[in-house]
Amino acid sequence: MEEAEETEAKKKSPLMLMLAAVAALTVVGGGGGWLVGTMIAPNIKAAQEAEAGTEEAKADAHGGKAEEGLARIATEANGVVQLEPITTNLAYPSESWIRLEVALMFKGTPDAALAEQIHQDILAYVRTVSLQQVEGPRGFQYLRDDIAERVDLRSEGRVSKVMFRTFVIE
């Protein structure tokens, strides 16, 4: 009987030692994480405050409004108009969706009414395209060429460049 009790005591002690070691390592790991976090957090906070200060300086330099990406209708200096995102389903398969963001570079001053007509024309064209037509790099290039040709015809040469900002098919 004494031998049975000794074997049970021996079996319990390695399990208890392992649980104690895991608990100790957990406490040490948590303490180390807390220590590193307190050392790094002030640096991150200072960097965020410095970045906020530079954004305010940019806003003051640009007439009180910070620039956020490309403006919808840019200044006459560069003549760029970013169209509203075009999101529609493809002709085939109709379950597939396409999203385009296009910007137009005008020769001279931008025309918002013409840009809206071009937007509607691109939307109407994209609805007629099938997934097989735009697959791969060659299909995307054909789509770009077709849209550029439509824009050139609609604008009668007033748009010098069509820039694709995003192109997503789902």
What are the pLDDT digits (tens) for 97-139? 999 999 999 888 888 889 999 999 999 999 999 999 998 889 9
Q: Is the pLDDT of residue 9 over 60?
A: no
Which residues on adjacent β-strands are paired with residue 97?
A: 89
User: Taking the complete model, does pTM exceed 0.85, yes or no?
Assistant: no
Per-residue pLDDT averaged across 38-49, rounded?
73
Provide, for the chain, the percentages of residues in helix, strand and coil under a 3-state DSSP scheme, each rounded to the nearest 5: 60, 20, 25
Model confidence at 11, in pLDDT bands (50, 70, 90)? low
**80-169: CATH number:** 3.30.479.30
Which position has the higher pLDDT, 59 or 35?
Answer: 35
Radius of gyration, alpha carbons of the chain: 31
Say if residue 110 is preceded by a cis peptide, omega within 30 of 0.
no
pLDDT interval class at 33 (50, 70, 90)? confident
pLDDT at 71 over 90: no
Residue 79: how many CB atoms within 10 A of its CB?
A: 20
Can you give the pLDDT at residue 32?
Answer: 87
Residue 66's pLDDT is what? 44
Q: Cα 101–105–108 angle (5° rounding)?
A: 150
Take residue 37 and report the two structure tokens written for it.
Answer: 């976090």
Is the per-residue pLDDT at 27 higher than 70?
Answer: yes
Question: Which pLDDT score is estimated for 58?
Answer: 57
**pLDDT digits over 47-62, tens only?**
777 777 666 655 555 5
Domain limits, the chain: 1-68, 80-169
